[in-house]
């Protein structure tokens, strides 16, 4: 007879909320007891983000003709770089820490969609000044949503092609 332990630790439950620890022996049976323990893989948001980022980086590569537009989003700032992966060289960059953006928007917690639009506009202008028109967009493992989407749309509206 199988018995199911009710240890409801979130690391050991299935997606249905059922515990995944099984105990096989029945105390009334005469054969030696064995226990089978099956644990679910618990991924954190950070681990999922790193997996997405590495999956994207396998496909997106910056060349001299079409450099990579790489986005990094922290809790307080937003950073964008144009990178030539063959030379391992940063061609242009923009962030919320630069004076034109930081002076225009006075925010205390984190960059908003309006700030992301301004950073996208700034990176597009600096790329066009250097003669870069086509880029490969690397969203950095972040969902194409919110600030990342606003930054990409703003860069497209200001002349970058991707």
Map out the domains of the chain as residue ranges: 1-42, 46-157
Distance CA 71, CA 49 (A): 13
Count the neighbouring beta carbons within 10 Å of the beta carbon of residue 87.
Answer: 12
Please choose, from the candidates 111, 108, 130, the residue with its C-alpha nearest in 3D space to the C-alpha of residue 120: 111
pLDDT in tens, 103-131: 888 777 778 999 999 999 999 999 999 99
Q: Supply the pTM of this predicted model.
A: 0.69
Count the neighbouring beta carbons within 10 Å of the beta carbon of residue 158.
Answer: 16
* Mean pLDDT (the chain, rounded): 83
pLDDT in tens, 39-52: 666 788 888 889 99
The CATH class that applies to domain 46-157 reads: alpha beta
Average pLDDT over residues 61-76: 93
Please choose, from the candidates 106, 90, 89, the residue with its C-alpha nearest in 3D space to the C-alpha of residue 80: 90
Q: So what's the pLDDT on residue 15?
A: 57
pLDDT band at 1 (very low <50, low <70, confident <90, very high): very low
Q: So what's the pLDDT on residue 113?
A: 93
Average pLDDT over residues 129-152: 94
CA 97 remoteness from chain centre? 21
Q: So what's the pLDDT on residue 160?
A: 95
Residue 19 confidence (pLDDT) above 60: no
pLDDT in tens, 70-85: 999 998 999 999 999 9
Q: So what's the pLDDT on residue 156?
A: 96
């Amino acid at each position: 007879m199988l018995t199911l332990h009710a240890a409801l630790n979130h690391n050991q439950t299935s997606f249905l909320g059922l515990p995944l620890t099984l105990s096989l022996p029945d105390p009334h049976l005469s054969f030696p007891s064995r226990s089978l323990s099956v644990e679910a893989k618990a991924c954190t948001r950070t681990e999922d983000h790193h997996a997405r980022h590495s999956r994207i980086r396998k496909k997106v590569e910056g060349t001299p003709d079409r450099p990579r537009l790489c986005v990094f989003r922290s809790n307080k700032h937003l950073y964008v770089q144009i990178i030539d992966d063959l030379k391992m060289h940063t061609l242009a960059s923009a962030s919320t820490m630069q004076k034109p953006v930081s002076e225009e928007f006075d925010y205390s917690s984190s960059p908003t969609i309006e700030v992301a639009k301004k950073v996208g506009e700034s990176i597009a202008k600096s790329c066009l000044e250097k003669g870069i028109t086509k880029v490969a967009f690397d969203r950095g493992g972040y969902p194409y949503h919110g600030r990342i989407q606003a930054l990409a749309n703003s860069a497209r509206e200001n002349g970058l092609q991707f």
